[in-house]
Amino acid sequence: MQDIFLYNTLTRTKEKFLPLVPGKVGLYTCGPTVYNFAHIGNLRTFLFEDLLTRTLRFNGYDVQWVMNVTDVGHMTSDGDAGEDKMSVAAQRENLDPWSLARKYEDAFRFDMQRLGIHLPDVLPRATEHIEEMIRLNKTLEERGFTYETPEGLYFDTSKSSDYGKLARLRLDDQLQGARADVNVDSEKRNPQDFILWFGNKPTHIMKWDSPWGVGYPGWHIECSAMSMKYLGDTFDIHCGGNDHIPVHNTNEIAQSEAATGKTFARYWMHAAFLNLKNKENPNTKLKMSKSKGGFIQVQTLVDSGYDPIAYRYLCLQAHYRSELELAWEWLDADGKTGRADSLDTAAASLKRLYERIARAEKDNEESLSENSQFDAARIEVLNALNDDLNVPKAVGLLHTYASPRLWRAFDAVLGLDIENHAVLPAEEEAPAEIWKLVEARLEARKARDFARSDALRDEIAALGWEVADSPQGPTLKRKQ
Ligand code: AMP
Ligand code: ZN
């Protein structure tokens, strides 16, 4: 197996990847909160996770990919303040929260498919793992890591010796954070303490019995309970978007390691954001967010005339740790359709790529026809992918080699669906009167009347067709 290097947020370095069990990888990624459609920023993170999984599989690893579906407990702030996003949306849409969750989970699966993202092996729903969460909270309680207030059960971060190691949080940052958050529970002991279970919530629409009263789980405990259920107390890789570093993933580590006394995830990988660039004010970066309205979904791309794979191709051109800017221009006031120069360019170059591959294959042009050449090029591209997923470099190399065989091999990672797209446009059938002219030209040639045959060729050309002579007889092609 080739060496793989991954940037680990925990150590802030690129490390050689060594799985717990040779040949196997346990991967957990924070999934969608299904209170709305996913926006293409969320999907950029899921696409990065798809590329990671595909790269590991391409290298021969047996990957078990688990992604949660958050259908309860994610508050309108990423901390404990505000309301449950699910109940806010359920009221807005006049749906019960379960139907709302299924509606957006189905939409999420469809969007993943439209972007060529393979679905994870397990997609556990939070509401179906309440028992596991309660059990984990009980363990934390037994081990002395919790306390109760009228709000519910809290994790006491002062009991954790290395709280904040992922984000490298310092105590003064924590105090500042607390000052900014005016909604804090006055009985909370430390600013960074967080809810494990919201108790005393008999009127909440999604609620369960627990030793800490009727209520619902905190968002962070969901990921700890589901990841450890499917992958064990210690597993290989945990991913999420950059925004999850300071709160959500930090809290997952604290509570999981407190409960088991073991390392939780060994490698932490985080994807940089997709930002919208404001056309009128190009220096303003707008964070794309579901909660602030006006966001771009896969359906927005489709309604705007883009093949979603063009967005995938655009994402492949930026490294996952670099932010990606999209200068999106809305074309209508209600935010249904829009356009972006970079997407237009990506769509056009992807179309040319498909055509080049199809034409080269038709003409039997293969730049790497020797197996030894092919193998060397394959290793070079694989090394780029294995260098912390340097997809832009891998794509650059594939363009340089221009080998249909190599493109097809790496489509297992890139997911551009070359199989179904690299087809030449169907040849148009010429009408009968053009064929009559072709026959007349053939007669003229047989009679060695070249002046007449040339004149007929020009006449055919003037009608938009090109005639060519082959050993099987003349052929007709639409003029370019
Ligand atoms: P959510 O559905 O809000 O829980 O987010 C799902 C995933 O999308 C998480 O891993 C987030 O970190 C990630 N995410 C949220 N906004 C963006 C963005 N603008 N660009 C890239 N990833 C994002
Ligand atoms: Zn999570």
Residue nearest to atom 8 of ligand 1 (CA): 42
Q: Which two tokens stand for residue 459?
A: 């006449």
The model's pLDDT over 26-54, given as tens digits with 9 standing for 90+, comes to 999 999 999 989 999 999 999 999 999 99
Ion ligand 2: residue ranges with CB closer than 5 A: 30, 223
> What does residue 454 show for φ and ψ, rounded to 5 degrees?
-65, -40
Does 254 score more than 80 pLDDT?
A: yes
- Spatial neighbors of 381 by CB under 8 A, at least 6 apart, are 394, 397, 398, 401, 406, 410
Cα of 249 to ligand 2 centre, how many Å?
6
- From 49, 62, 60, select the one nearest 115 (Cα to Cα): 49
Q: What is the pLDDT of residue 166?
A: 94
Mean pLDDT, residues 263-285? 83
For residue 171, the model assigns a pLDDT of 58
Most confident region among 86-100, 291-305, 362-376 by mean pLDDT: 362-376
**Predicted pLDDT of residue 20:** 98
To test the pocket of ligand 1, the residue of 35, 43, 45 to mutate (highest count of ligand atoms within 8 Å of its CB) is 45
Answer with the residue of higher pLDDT: 412 or 97. Answer: 412
Provide the token pair at 399: 């363009």
Let me know: does 222 contact 245? Beta carbons within 8 Å: no
**pLDDT of 472 over the 80 cut:** no
pTM: 0.87
3-state secondary structure at position 64:
strand
In the predicted model, is pLDDT for residue 179 greater than 60? no
> What is the 51 CA–ligand 1 centroid distance (Å)?
16
Mean pLDDT computed over 371-387: 98
Distance 241 CA to ligand 1 centre (A): 5
* pLDDT cut 90: percent of the chain above it: 75
Q: Residue 334: its pLDDT value, please?
A: 78
The pair of structure tokens assigned to 401 is: 């080699």
- For residue 174, pLDDT over 80 is answered with no
30 lines ligand 1 (CB under 6 A): yes
Q: Does the pLDDT of residue 267 top 90, yes or no?
A: yes
Mutate to test the pocket of ligand 1, among 28, 36, 42 (most ligand atoms within 8 A of CB): 42
Nearest ligand to the CA of 248 is 2
Sign of CA dihedral 216, 221, 226, 229: negative
CA nearest to 222, candidates 141, 126, 131: 126
Query: Looking at residue 294, what is its pLDDT?
Result: 55
Given a contact cutoff of 8 angstroms between Cβ atoms, the answer to whether 405 and 418 are in contact is no
pLDDT at residue 73 in the model:
72
Tell the residue nearest (CA) to atom 14 of ligand 1: 42
Can you give the pLDDT at residue 195?
95
Predicted pLDDT at 180: 45
How many Å is the Cα radius of gyration of the chain? 28
Which parts of 32-96 fold into alpha helices (H)? 40-58, 85-93
Average pLDDT over residues 107-120: 98
Structure tokens at 7: 């940037």
How many Å lie between the centroid of ligand 1 and the Cα of residue 18?
27
At residue 377, the pLDDT reads 98
pLDDT at 380 over 70: yes
Q: What does the pLDDT average to over 188-199?
A: 94
